[in-house]
Amino acid sequence: MKDVEFFTQEQLIIRISRMSADRLRCWIDEGFVRSADDREERFDAADIARLEFLCDLADDFDLTTEGIGIVISLMDQIHTLRNQLLRLGKAVDCQPGEVREAIIEAFAGSAGRSKSAGP
């Protein structure tokens, strides 16, 4: 595994032009970004990308802290779902041909069917 580069709060503020100490403090307190340590001085590249996105939400879309909280929470849920769905798809890909066919058949057939419907 390659080494992961970590950043302190001060380094984040320097690296992200739209970031201020107050803003970072607020977003850390809200849990929008989470340090890998308790001293809150260990952020990584994913956090920088998140913070850039949070800056877009705040500056370009004028979202309030509450609004940002809703968006980022939904975004995390979507990414988790996307990842799981992707992994499920890859798992299906690894199955023998007839199993794959059967799953695709069942999956396509289940679209729009209510969950209480029988077999």
**What residues make contact with another protein under the rule CB under 8 A?**
4, 34, 36-38, 44-50, 52-53, 56, 60-61, 73, 75-84, 86, 88, 115
Cβ at position 117, least distance to another protein in Å = 12
Cβ at position 24, least distance to another protein in Å = 16
Cβ at position 97, least distance to another protein in Å = 20
Nearest CB to another protein, comparing residues 88 and 104? 88
Nearest CB to another protein, comparing residues 20 and 73? 73
| Residue 32 near residue 54 (C-beta atoms within 8 A) | yes
* Closest by CA position to 69, among listed 109, 15, 112, 32: 32
Burial 8-36 (b: 16+ CB within 10 A, else e): ebeebbeebeebeeebbeebbeeebbebe
| Residue 42 near residue 3 (C-beta atoms within 8 A) | no
Nearest CB to another protein, comparing residues 22 and 60? 60
